[in-house]
């Protein structure tokens, strides 16, 4: 087991990374979460796989653990589901000392975290992320929330958990397409912050794809370390945190124009190639770097180009991105491999050339 300490300046908490749930009760006790009412918030896919097991393992930590299940999928990520949660919590008499447990992917974590941030003005919660995306990305950083009127994550709060417990063995039940989407975000962490971590992907891609225990533990640990470092320097996203947006300004536009038929991580994969191309044109990275990125993403069965998209529409869509301020498209680019920054001065031609690069 590996343990990573996160210090946001406001709150300190541990991230446990293991290949089983056997240490979970100890982790709760260490965090001071004993003899309290608890509620596992989970979705309809994850509940039958893991909820009873967690309840059983925590039976000496709490005698009163309920399970609140919602229909799996991004369509549930709204205020109606949050209202259902509140109703469930009231029926179960959860109080300010009670603990919510987010068991599932990013949708579960974002919603359970938001419910925890707002129920009775804030109660403790624990993250048990079960998708690779949630293990390497969404469970770290404290962003919680729901979609509203078709806008992703429009209503939410920054709220940190008491602890994060990652059991990488849960990935064995996750469809590979979802695993790959998570790998795109973890590869991103290498590009923006840590060339050694990126090299680990290049050198161990077969073991990673096969979900080999020690390889996947390295991936999860490395990503959590990079993401928690970046967010701890900038909890409220005023500066450094923007580098986490690498590949995302292009990616979000593709995601929207695909009508969300492509997974977020898949769009980030092609988006990163566009950002790498733009960085290459500025002399920051080489053609070989791009070829290697493409080969790696392709190996993980992630898309490396898109078909049937109008480049002008992608460009226009980029102006709607949350990170586009005062009509200026902000692109996270690389200064070098493992060193990202936000470029506010890209020309229309530069951006359009990068879009053309990923369109077949
Ligand atoms: N808070 C943040 O910083 C942050 C960052 C990135 C993404 N997000 C959010 O995360 C969400 C996407 O997360 P996601 O990709 O984990 O989606 P998700 O939670 O919908 O999970 C994907 C699918 O996998 C299923 N699943 C989860 N774990 C499983 C397991 N172990 N075995 C089998 N099936 C399993 C789920 O039921 C779901 O069908 C989006 O809503 C996005 O906005 C938040
Ligand atoms: Zn992302």
- The total of other beta-carbon atoms located within 10 Å of residue 295's CB is 12
Ligand 1 atom closest to 144 (CA): 1
Q: Which CATH number fits domain 197-358: 1.20.1090.10, 1.10.10.10, 1.25.10.10, 3.40.50.2300?
A: 1.20.1090.10
Mean pLDDT of 158-171: 98
Mean pLDDT of the chain: 96
Q: Taking 80 as the threshold, does the pLDDT of residue 238 lie above it?
A: no
Residue extents of the structural domains in the chain: 2-173, 197-358
Mean pLDDT of 131-152: 95
Share of the chain above pLDDT 70, in %: 99
Q: Taking 90 as the threshold, does the pLDDT of residue 9 lie above it?
A: no
- pLDDT tens, 251-309? 999 999 999 999 999 999 999 999 999 999 999 999 999 999 999 999 999 999 999 99
Q: Which two tokens stand for residue 5?
A: 């300490």
What span, in angstroms and rounded, lies between the C-alpha atoms of 225 and 234? 14
Q: Cα-flanking dihedrals φ and ψ of residue 283, to 5°? A: 85, 10
- pLDDT tens, 67-102? 999 999 999 999 999 999 999 999 999 999 999 999
Common-topology check for domains 2-173 and 197-358: no
Query: Active site residue: 143, 188, 189, 225, which one?
Result: 143
CATH assignment, 2-173: 3.40.50.1970
| Cα 170 to ligand 1 centroid, rounded to whole Å | 13
Please say if 189 is a catalytic residue.
Answer: no
Query: Active site residue: 36, 45, 162, 185, which one?
Result: 185
- Residue 8: the pLDDT is 85
Q: If pLDDT is split at 50, 70 and 90, which confidence band does 220 have?
A: very high
Q: Taking 70 as the threshold, does the pLDDT of residue 235 lie above it?
A: no
What span, in angstroms and rounded, lies between the C-alpha atoms of 51 and 103? 8
List all residues 6 or more positions away from 293 whose beta carbon is below 8 Å from its beta carbon.
187, 191, 272, 273, 276
- Residue 208: the pLDDT is 98
- pLDDT tens, 12-45? 999 999 999 999 999 999 999 999 999 999 999 9
Please say if 248 is a catalytic residue.
Answer: yes
Q: Taking 90 as the threshold, does the pLDDT of residue 240 lie above it?
A: no
């Amino acid at each position: 087991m590996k343990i990573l300490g996160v210090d946001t300046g406001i709150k300190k908490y541990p991230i446990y990374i293991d290949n089983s749930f056997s240490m979970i009760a100890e982790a709760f006790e260490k965090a001071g979460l004993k003899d309290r009412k608890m509620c596992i918030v989970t979705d309809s896919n994850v509940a039958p796989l893991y909820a009873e097991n967690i309840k059983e393992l925590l039976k000496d930590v709490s005698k009163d653990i309920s399970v609140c299940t919602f229909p799996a999928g991004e369509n549930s990520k709204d205020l109606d589901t949050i209202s259902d949660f509140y109703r469930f919590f009231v029926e179960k008499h959860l109080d300010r000392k009670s603990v919510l447990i987010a068991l599932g992917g990013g949708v579960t974590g974002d919603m359970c975290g938001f419910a925890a941030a707002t129920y009775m003005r804030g109660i403790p919660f624990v993250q048990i992320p079960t998708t690779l995306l949630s293990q390497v990305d969404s469970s770290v950083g404290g962003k919680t929330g729901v979609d509203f009127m078709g806008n992703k994550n429009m209503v939410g709060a920054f709220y940190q958990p008491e602890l994060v417990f990652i059991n990488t063995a849960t990935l064995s039940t996750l469809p590979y397409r979802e695993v790959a989407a998570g790998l795109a975000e973890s590869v991103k962490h290498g590009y923006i912050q840590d060339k050694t971590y990126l090299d680990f992907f290049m050198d161990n891609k077969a073991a990673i794809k096969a979900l080999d225990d020690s390889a996947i533990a390295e991936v999860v640990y490395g990503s959590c370390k990079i993401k928690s470092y970046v967010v701890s320097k900038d909890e409220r996203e005023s500066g450094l945190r923007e580098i986490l947006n690498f590949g995302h300004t292009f990616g979000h536009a593709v995601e929207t124009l695909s009508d969300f038929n492509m997974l977020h991580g898949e769009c980030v994969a092609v988006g990163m190639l566009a950002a790498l191309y733009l960085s290459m044109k500025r002399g920051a990275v080489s053609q070989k770097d791009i070829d290697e990125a493409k080969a790696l993403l392709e190996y993980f069965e992630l898309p490396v180009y898109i078909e049937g998209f109008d480049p002008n529409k992608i460009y226009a869509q980029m102006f709607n991105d949350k990170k586009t301020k005062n009509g200026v498209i902000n692109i996270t680019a690389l200064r070098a491999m493992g060193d990202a920054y936000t470029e506010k001065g890209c020309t229309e031609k530069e951006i359009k050339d990068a879009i053309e690069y990923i369109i077949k």
